[in-house]
């Protein structure tokens, strides 16, 4: 079985790549070899009872997989091949998963449309003139197009949940500290978390069960037991309380998206959940806070790309400082440079208190808003993105408009709480719409249960025009 599944996934990835540009590397040989290996015997040597045995998986190109490239969608890393596996990759492999390739993404995970990749944008399988969202657009498209059942991405401000919403699949960012960041190329370390795309909740639950947990290589992973997520999927919603932040359903939200998410609220009510109004008074400030903290951390994290130890080095620079500057000028794309500049500005002498410290104070207020809200509800429902997928090129010249795509997702990263985007409808233009469930720390199991109950009641069975079929 493993071999057929992996052969199908690799073949589909190869056939659809001209249309979608979702993969930057497809490892046919390595994947087939691994498929044969995991098929042998009874699987008793695998971790997690081999729950992912023979499952083909796609990995965002900012996670380290030994033997494969890790370009981060950037020219400055190019065909860099890391000498080690990220912890989440090691755990996937040990549980029997077969990695078929590395997926395209916005450069260093900075973007909401995948147009910032140095290797061209990913196309949305629902309409190839539109963006798949970002930054994990390749992983999102690979799952939406039926190439793989599950893929990993990273989510710093919505980079898993927003593309999941735009292509009609599930996308989760777990609690900060749930998954190891060891081997994930750092963008903003206090916000980054490895996330999962899947079409099926149980596949997602199994995958989180495999990759989650304390890792001695990442001091920010927490010593919190990993529950059996798949055991928690069933059960009725009687007594569940879902928070409805009415104020977030106002200005800037596409009407179709707003109505679709309100219908989801009605479904939850029918399923026996109690809907309670909640207020997140500082949510409107989240984008401002995010673009100070994320760029400040990025300007520091990306200082390591200097043309000395790995990746690209500019030519014709006879002096060291000149070499650094030319390498970074030629190696980074415009959005990355813009964010490094902004981050350097907000951290520079004289501005630190006005911007960075202020942003960290408002981050506390945002966190406190959620802590208060979760005293009266088990999860909060919001839209995932303010609009369905937009047309390629529409927002590239307006960074601020692009940033506002993340308005519903960044709060979870700032507060450290988990978020799950669930597909719920198609727009009049046949583009997917998703809703987001946000929960308290370590409430992933609750979010899975809520998503599962919704999907049982209202299955999302539509498929995009670009979809993998048997050759």
Partner 1 sequence: MPITEADIAKVAQLAHLELAEEELKTFGAQIAEIVAYVEQLNELDTTNVEPAIGGLTPEGERTETSRNDEIEGSLGQKVALAEAPDPSHGHFRVPKVL
C-beta closer to partner 1: residue 49 or 84: 84
With CB under 8 A as the contact rule, which of the stretches 2-10, 111-119, 173-181, 197-205 interacts with partner 1?
A: 173-181
| Token couple for 187 | 């963008």
Binding partner 1 by CB under 8 A: which of 311, 333, 434, 464? 311
Count residues near partner 1 (CB under 8 A): 76
Which CB sits closer to partner 1, 80 or 467?
80
The verdict on 80 binding partner 1 (CB under 8 A) reads: yes
Three-state SS letters, 198-256:
ECCHHHHHHHHHHHECCECCECCCCCCCCCCHHHHCCCCCCCCEEEECHHHHCCCCCHH
When binding is defined by CB under 8 A, the residue of 216, 238, 251, 375 that contacts partner 1 is 216
Q: Which of 75, 367, 458, 463 binds partner 1 (CB under 8 A)?
A: 367
Nearest to 113 by CA among 393, 331, 435: 393
Site for partner 1 in 108-167 (CB under 8 A): none
Active site positions, annotated? 60, 135, 159
Quote the tokens at residue 370: 């959620």
307 binds partner 1 (CB under 8 A): yes
Does 313 bind partner 1 (CB under 8 A)? Our answer is: yes
Q: Does 291 contact partner 1 by CB under 8 A?
A: yes
66 is a site residue for partner 1 (CB under 8 A): no
What does the alpha-carbon distance between residue 142 and residue 139 come to, in Å, rounded to a whole number?
5
Residue 304 contacts partner 1 per CB under 8 A: no
Please report, to the nearest 10 degrees, the dihedral formed by the alpha carbons of residues 243, 245, 249, 252 taken in order: -130
Q: Which of 197, 441, 454, 460 binds partner 1 (CB under 8 A)?
A: 441
Can residue 456 be called a binding residue for partner 1 (CB under 8 A)?
no
Complex with partner 1: residue 195 or 464, whichever CB lies closer: 195
118 Cβ neighbours under 8 A, 6+ residues apart: 71, 73, 74, 75, 107, 333
DSSP string, 354-370: IIIIHHHHHHHHHHHHH
**Distance, CA of 308 to CA of 294 (rounded, Å):** 25
Closest separation in Å from C-beta 402 to partner 1: 11
Token pair recorded at residue 269: 């009510």
- Half-sphere CA count of 425, side-chain side, radius 13 A: 20
In the three-class reduction of DSSP (H, G, I as helix; E, B as strand; rest coil), residue 149 is classed as coil
Could you say whether residue 292 binds partner 1 (CB under 8 A)?
yes
Using alpha carbons, select from 230, 70, 246, 56 the residue that is nearest to residue 149: 56
Minimal distance in Å, beta carbon 279 to partner 1? Answer: 16
Q: Which is nearer to partner 1, 265 or 317 (CB)?
A: 317
State the angle between helix axes of 286-301 and 358-373 in degrees (0 to 180), rounded to the nearest 10.
120
- Report if residue 173 touches partner 1, rule: CB under 8 A: no
Q: Does 176 bind partner 1 (CB under 8 A)?
A: yes
* Site for partner 1 contains 247 (CB under 8 A): no
Based on CB atoms, which residue is closest to partner 1, 83 or 239?
83
Residue 303 phi, psi (nearest 5):
-65, -20
Least separation in angstroms between CB 384 and partner 1: 20
Q: Which residues of 345-361 are buried (b: 16+ CB within 10 A; e: fewer)?
A: ebbeeeeeeebbeebee
Give residues 368-427 in contact with partner 1 (rule: CB under 8 A): 399-400, 403, 413-414, 416
């Amino acid at each position: 079985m493993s071999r057929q599944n992996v052969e199908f996934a690799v073949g589909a990835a190869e056939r659809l790549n001209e249309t979608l540009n979702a993969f930057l590397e497809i490892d046919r040989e390595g994947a087939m070899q691994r498929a044969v290996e995991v098929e042998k015997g009874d699987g008793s040597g695998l971790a997690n009872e081999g729950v992912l045995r023979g499952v083909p998986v796609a990995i965002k190109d900012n996670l380290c997989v030994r033997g494969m490239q890790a370009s981060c969608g950037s020219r400055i890393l190019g065909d860099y091949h890391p000498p080690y596996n990220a912890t989440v990759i090691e755990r996937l492999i040990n549980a029997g998963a077969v990695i078929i390739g590395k997926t395209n993404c916005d450069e260093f995970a900075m973007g909401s449309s995948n147009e910032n990749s140095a290797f061209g944008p990913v196309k949305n399988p629902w309409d190839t003139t539109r963006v798949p969202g970002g930054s994990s657009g390749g992983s999102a498209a690979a799952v939406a197009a039926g190439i793989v059942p599950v893929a990993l991405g990273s989510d710093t401000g919505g980079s898993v949940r927003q593309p999941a919403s735009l292509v009609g699949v599930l996308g989760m960012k777990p609690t900060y500290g749930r998954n190891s960041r060891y081997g994930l190329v750092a963008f903003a370390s206090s916000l980054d978390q490895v996330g999962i795309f899947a079409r099926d909740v149980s596949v997602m639950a199994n995958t989180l069960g495999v990759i989650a947990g304390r890792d001695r290589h990442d001091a920010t992973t927490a010593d919190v037991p990993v529950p059996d997520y798949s055991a928690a999927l069933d059960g009725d919603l009687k007594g569940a309380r879902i928070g409805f932040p009415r104020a977030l359903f106002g200005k800037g939200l596409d009407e179709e998206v707003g109505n679709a998410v309100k219908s989801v609220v009605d479904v939850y009510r029918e399923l026996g959940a109690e809907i309670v109004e909640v207020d997140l008074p500082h949510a409107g400030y989240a984008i401002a806070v995010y673009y100070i903290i994320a760029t400040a951390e990025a300007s520091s994290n990306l200082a390591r790309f200097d043309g000395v130890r790995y990746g690209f080095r500019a030519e014709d620079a006879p002096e060291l400082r000149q070499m650094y500057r030319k390498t970074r000028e030629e190696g980074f794309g415009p959005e990355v440079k813009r964010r490094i500049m902004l981050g350097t500005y907000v951290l520079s002498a004289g501005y630190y208190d006005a911007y960075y410290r202020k942003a960290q104070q408002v981050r506390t207020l945002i966190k406190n808003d959620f802590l208060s809200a979760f005293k009266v509800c088990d999860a909060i429902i919001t839209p995932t993105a303010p609009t369905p997928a937009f047309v390629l090129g529409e927002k590239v010249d307006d960074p601020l408009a692009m940033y506002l795509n993340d308005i519903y997702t960044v709060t979870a990263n700032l507060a450290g709480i988990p978020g799950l985007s669930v597909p719920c409808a198609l727009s009049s233009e046949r583009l997917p719409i998703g809703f987001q469930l946000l929960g308290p720390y370590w409430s992933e199991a609750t979010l899975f249960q809520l998503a599962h109950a919704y999907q049982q009641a209202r299955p999302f069975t539509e498929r995009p025009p670009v979809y993998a079929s048997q050759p």
